[in-house]
Amino acid sequence: MILKRGLPMIDGTIVKGIGGFYYVNTGDKIYECKARGKFRKEKITPLVGDCVKITVDGLSGQGVIEEILDRKTELIRPPVANVDHAVVVFAVHQPEPNLSLLNRFLILAESQEIDITICLNKMDLAQHEDLCSLTDIYRRIGYEVIMTSTKQNIGIEDLKGRLENRITVFAGPSGVGKSSLLNSIQPNLKLQTGEVSQKIERGKHTTRHVELLALDFGGWVLDTPGFSSLHLDFIEADGLQYLFREFHDFIGTCKFNGCKHLSEPGCAIKKALENHQIYPSRYESYTQLYEEIMQSRRY
């Protein structure tokens, strides 16, 4: 145990951050902490999931984050650290699934080498053809897809089995039922839920901050605010192709080296698209992201 200014350094994990205060779980207690000013000067923001070292004032009980240990992974949206599993939740209806947004989050998770499970929620509202189309696209690419309904208790045990002894982030748009799923998995979490606004197709009274929650059967989950957009301009344009799993068999077989898979002749990716080996919605996401990344580099 290292002493600093006469106070012992205690290891812990940030489980919540609100209004400049960070709540650090040390195993036997949760301390409210502020971060040292040095982090602001170094442009480092503490994240939920960070492993930290803190000191605690014996009189006030107030903690101070002294060190942030190296992160294994880091997501930008939701802003969390050290997760090893992402459950990407989308509803099959109310709100309608946004495949472009789903693809963007998959690319974000792939860039961090995080294990991914796609959860298609609200099965009770789905038409058969909707389910077949969505599940076929992503299962054929190689993603695990779990279909769930909290109202009919479908798929909950399957999803629960994916969470044991892992640090899992639940992410997806507002109103898709992330908090409801977590309440079904572990009722004592008692997370606030709300219906979807018919006007804007977004959840009412939904999660407002990121929080790391302990599971009774082992592991941790992060319930996170919903999002309606996701910018990935930190990814290098030339590396984007490697984050699309279905591209892997064709990369390196184009006619020209350095093919961007846009309009070049002899492109193996474009040929695979024509041969129905790559789904149009996925290729469209690739071209949109590529152009966005290149546009961001111009400024």
Task: Among 2.60.40.10, 3.40.225.10, 3.40.250.10, 1.10.40.50, name the CATH number for the domain at 237-297.
Answer: 1.10.40.50
Query: Helix 280-297 and helix 99-111: axis angle, to 10°?
Result: 60
**Of 130, 135, 207, nearest to 175 (Cα)?**
207
* Fold held by 3-68: OB fold (Dihydrolipoamide Acetyltransferase, E2P) (2.40.50)
Query: 74-223 has which CATH code?
Result: 3.40.50.300
b/e code 160-184 from CB counts within 10 Å (16+ = b) = bebbeeebbbbbbbbbbbbbbbbbb
Known binding residues for GTP are: 121-124, 172-180
Residue with tokens 């492993």: 51
Residue with tokens 């205060």: 21
Residue 22: CA count within 13 A, CB half-sphere: 27
Model pTM score: 0.83
Q: Tens of pLDDT along the chain (299 residues)?
A: 444 556 899 999 999 999 999 999 999 999 999 999 999 999 999 999 999 999 999 888 899 999 999 999 998 777 899 999 999 999 988 888 888 999 999 999 999 899 999 999 998 887 766 667 788 899 999 999 999 999 999 999 999 999 999 999 988 888 898 889 999 999 988 777 654 434 434 444 454 678 899 999 999 998 777 666 678 888 999 999 999 999 999 999 999 999 999 999 999 999 999 999 999 999 999 999 999 999 987 75
What integer pLDDT is reported at residue 149 of this predicted model?
A: 94
Known binding residues are: 121-124, 172-180, 254, 259, 261, 267
Question: To 5 degrees, how large is the angle CA 23–CA 28–CA 32?
Answer: 20
What integer pLDDT is reported at residue 196 of this predicted model?
A: 44
What integer pLDDT is reported at residue 193 of this predicted model?
A: 64
Domain ranges of the chain: 3-68, 74-223, 237-297
Tell me the residue type at 97. P
Known binding residues for Zn(2+) are: 254, 259, 261, 267
Rg of the chain's alpha carbons, rounded to an integer? 21
